Amino acid sequence: MAILGQIRSKPWLLMGIIALALLAFLVNPESIEKVFGKNPDVLGKVNGEKITREEFNDQLFVLQEQAKNQGQPQNGLEEQAWQLLVQSKLIKQQFEKMGFEMTDDLFWNQLQYDQMFSQNQQLFDEKGNFKLQELKKEIETLQNTNPQGYSQWLKTRKSIEYRIMARQVFANISTGLTTGKKEAEELMRQRDQLADIDFVKVDYTSYLAKNKIKVTTEDLKNYIDQHSVMFKTEPSRNLGVVYFPAKPSAADDAAALKEINRLYTGTESGENFTNTASDSLFVLANSDVPFNNQYVQANQVPQALQGKVETAAIGQAFGPYKEQDLYVVSKVLDKKPSDSTLSKHILIAYKGAERSTATRTKEAAKKIADSLLAAIKGNPAKFAEGLKLSDEPNAVERNGSVGWTTPQSQFAPGYLSFLANNAKGSTGLAETEFGYHIINVEDKKAGTMGYKIAHLVKAIKPSDATENTIDKNSRRFIQQVEGKSFNDFVNIAKKGNFQYTNAAQAKRFDGQIQGLGTEADSEILKWAFDKKREKGDTELFPVEGTGDKIVVYLNGKQEKGLADPESVRSQIETIVKNKLAAKKIAEKIGKASSLDQVAKMFATTKQSAQVNILQPSVAGAMEPKVAGAAFGIQKGKVSNPIEGGTGVYVLVKKSETVNKQGGDLKQFTESITQRNAGMFGQAWMKSLQDNADIDDYRIEIWDKLGSQQQ
């Protein structure tokens, strides 16, 4: 399964298809449909085409696998999965409108150009030919021997089909993108034309420092109405959030220090970390961090031990010392050179093992591993044949090798333990959280000195008294703000020096709340989007297992349509304030007779610049309106006030010149066409989405299912 191994190793490349995992197991869909008259397996429609729960689940799984492989959070990906599905549906619809059909021939002919295959040289022979027949044979074998693997391939194929359709659509549309001769000639003229101007700029920042302008909600609304395309929005909630973290107090810190000193030098039983006969068992019984039997290098020990372990005697202890919210006593147990080991393995996974897609039971996996190990011990050459059964991605291509490792490598402890306890040439079986490994130790070489250190650790935790204080403070706060305005909520939080956040546009399927990111976020979003919820409602949420408390204030309910002005204040307030300032400045300037008059009016100076329409930089600021005015006004005439991006300008054109640049018309035309083609794809996709009839039933379905659960 060489080629399919390449696919399995990169699940995050699937662009594919999806369903709402949060809903998948909640309720019997048939009973819900009878009660509510809407199929909960259909989460929405794109121009009438259904988005099913199964499709959404598949897409969400792909994104979560990608995040997992990249070490990123796996929650909060629901909205991204939805958007990918919507775009995939739109591409498919355009593909079919053009008269195309996704046939088997088209799929197999275009497969080698897909990003999953085209950049992997192992999928091409020495002549550069794609190993298509080999891939087809592997898929056929998969269909006959591994139903789950074949199902994964079908999902992979679906995602590839969407990408093939996208390439076909964009290729055909971009072919029609051309630049006419007259257009190119005009653009070349604008490129080469320069205007020399004198101008006075009334800078917004300077003006507003002297003239205070308050931006009202109505001002924001007027701007949104004038730019409605930019402010289309999905349902969201404006949440005020105050976080009460259960941080350890000074008394909690002192208690942790006292406890570790007790364990270090004296306990009621007489045994302590200094005199114990078994350091590992003592740590196991008394430490908040488990005993680690591995050897580490000198540069990997805690900062407090840096420069000390090299000269420390066996049995010597250091501490207590503090590492963040931990008190630690460390004892050097052993020193020896840290071997590097070259090894290879065959992984036999089972259902429920870490990162496993296997369907076999643990017992079945053990039986396969034992049988395979016996065969390899009888004939070591059978190791290569056994690699075909490995559940490790790319096992055959890599000959099962994991390269050189040391006891400090980030590997499963069971795997490293086998390497440490077996000599070069050994082959045996080890179990880890990933399954059963048939391991062959290929080579060993001595490395740098390694140190085995026992760490007795006591976490500095908030005590019951501290958590009670946090609970008391949070409950007192919610009593103070209940029924009050949002401004009161904010002011009381700030007066109490509490951690305040304003999540202005929290969406139902964000997964996490901006500025928060706790285990309670999903419950808060569920609460905020409940149909019974009203603006001004408050609620107290505990964070499971931490002692933390969160108080939430619902400050706004934004349904589908144009954005609520206050929810986007932080994004547009400066723009709107500048526009209000521009109006006042222009009114004051009126019909100025000279630049000197304007400069004196605002206590500023006259400046000079050379401007160009295609590169409209004026004294370091990009001002296209100013550049346009420079070419539209008569020479020597004072312009009307021009509302720029950074200030209001008044200018006088002194002259126009031509600076002819290199390159002929054909080259220039080609460059403009390429630039337009590069910009077109994203803009066209956004246009499709803006003009599509998109129905999103997710919140409605969730509300109905949620009410069934209550």
Residue 186 has pLDDT above 50, yes or no: yes
Q: Which pLDDT tens digit goes with each residue over 361-379?
A: 999 999 999 999 999 999 9
The least confident of 251-265, 286-300, 502-516 is 502-516
Residue 224 has pLDDT above 50, yes or no: yes
Phi, psi for 336 (deg, rounded to 5):
-165, 160
- pLDDT at residue number 4: 46
Q: Which pLDDT tens digit goes with each residue over 563-605?
A: 888 878 888 999 999 999 999 999 999 988 899 999 999 999 9
- pLDDT at residue number 12: 33
Residue 9 has pLDDT above 70, yes or no: no
Strands ordered across the beta sheet of 647-658: 606-611, 193-203, 647-658, 642-643
Phi, psi for 315 (deg, rounded to 5):
95, -10
The burial of 410, by beta-carbon neighbours within 10 Å (0-12 exposed, 13-18 middle, 19 or more buried), is given as: exposed
Q: What percent of the chain has pLDDT over 90?
A: 48
> What's the gap between Cα 74 and its chain centre?
8
Q: Which pLDDT tens digit goes with each residue over 518-560?
A: 889 989 998 999 888 999 999 999 998 889 999 999 998 888 8
Q: Which residue has the higher pLDDT, 633 or 15?
A: 633
Residue type, 518: T
- pLDDT at residue number 267: 73
Please give the sequence-ordered ranges of beta strands (E in DSSP) within 132-286, or none if there are none: 193-203, 232-233, 236-244
Q: What percent of the chain has pLDDT over 70?
A: 93
Over the range 78-97, which residues count as b (16 or more CB within 10 Å of their CB) and which as e? beebbebbbbbbbbbbbbee
Residue 373, helix vs strand vs coil = helix
Report how far apart, in Å, the C-alpha atoms of 272 and of each of 23, 292, 304, 451, 454 are. Answer: 52, 19, 22, 22, 13
d(CA 92, CA 114): 17
Residue 240 has pLDDT above 70, yes or no: yes
d(CA 325, CA 253): 9
Residue 640, helix vs strand vs coil = coil
- pLDDT at residue number 27: 35
d(CA 525, CA 507): 8
Task: Compute the mean pLDDT over every residue in the chain, rounded to the nearest whole number.
Answer: 85
d(CA 169, CA 93): 10
- Nearest partner of 493 among 550, 431, 545, judged by Cα: 550
**pLDDT confidence of 704, banded at 50, 70, 90?**
low
Q: Which residue has the higher pLDDT, 642 or 23?
A: 642
291: tokens are 């005993």
Q: Are 204 and 582 in contact (CB under 8 A)?
A: yes
Residue 210 has pLDDT above 70, yes or no: yes
Measured from the Cβ of residue 361, the count of other Cβ atoms closer than 10 Å reads 12
Measured from the Cβ of residue 232, the count of other Cβ atoms closer than 10 Å reads 11
Largest CA distance in the chain: 102
- pLDDT at residue number 123: 77
Question: Bridge partners of 244?
Answer: 549
d(CA 76, CA 60): 10
Sign of the CA dihedral running 512, 518, 519, 520: negative
Measured from the Cβ of residue 306, the count of other Cβ atoms closer than 10 Å reads 12
* DSSP per position, 343-369: EEEEEE--TTSTT----S-HHHHHHHH
Q: Which pairs count as long-range contacts for 49-54, CB under 8 Å and 24+ apart, including other chains?
A: 49/89, 49/92, 49/93, 51/18, 51/82, 51/85, 51/86, 51/89, 52/19, 53/19, 53/20, 53/23, 53/24, 54/18, 54/19
* DSSP per position, 453-502: EEEEEEE----HHHHHHHHHHHHHHHHHHTT--HHHHHHHHHHTT-EEEE
- pLDDT at residue number 234: 81
Q: Which pLDDT tens digit goes with each residue over 315-363?
A: 999 999 999 999 999 999 998 877 789 999 999 999 989 888 888 899 9
Q: Are 237 and 553 in contact (CB under 8 A)?
A: no
Q: Are 199 and 649 in contact (CB under 8 A)?
A: yes
In the block, residue with structure tokens 């720029």:
644
- pLDDT at residue number 702: 64
Q: Are 58 and 16 in contact (CB under 8 A)?
A: yes
d(CA 567, CA 539): 20
